[in-house]
């Protein structure tokens, strides 16, 4: 089932919040909503000399765990494939060390807790 406009709007608002939070911590925006056939990257950021691929997850209800914990192995593989496609399309950035972060937003309102998980998973 496709996300309705209300869900899409909440997701965009969560990405906006995550972007502001990361920028407040000194990360710079490289790209946003990068889409490839193999997957999508919500935010590509740069922290000093590190390229950071960020997945933003919104959970309206906590019945299935928190937003940050919802990035399962399948989603991780899709993020890795999308990051590889991004690096192939941007060879000037391909030499930088990379990491995968997750920003979880648990709730719909502007005061909902935001949890930034640095280096959320590795390519093992």
Domains belonging to the chain, first-starting first, are 5-65+72-102+112-121 (3.40.1350.10)
pTM metric for this prediction = 0.86
Integer CA distances (angstroms), 96 to 7, 45, 90, 105, 120, in order: 34, 12, 11, 28, 18
Report CA torsion sign: 60, 62, 67, 71.
Answer: negative
- For residues 30, 116, 11, 43, the Cα torsion angle rounded to the nearest 10 degrees is 10
pLDDT tens-digit profile of 7-65?
Answer: 556 668 889 999 999 999 999 999 999 999 999 999 999 999 999 999 998 876 555 56
For the chain, what is the radius of gyration of the CA atoms?
A: 14
């Amino acid at each position: 089932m496709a996300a309705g406009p209300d869900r899409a709007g909440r997701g965009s608002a969560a990405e906006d919040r995550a972007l502001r939070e990361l920028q407040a911590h000194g990360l710079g925006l490289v790209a946003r909503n990068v889409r490839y056939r193999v997957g999508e990257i919500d935010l590509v950021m740069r922290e000093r000399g590190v390229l950071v691929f960020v997945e933003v997850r919104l959970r309206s209800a906590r019945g299935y765990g928190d937003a940050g914990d919802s990035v399962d192995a399948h989603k991780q593989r899709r993020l890795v494939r999308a990051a590889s496609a991004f690096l192939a399309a941007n060879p000037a950035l391909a030499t930088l060390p990379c990491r995968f972060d997750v920003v979880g937003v648990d709730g719909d309102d502007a005061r909902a807790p935001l949890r930034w998980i640095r280096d959320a998973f590795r390519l093992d």
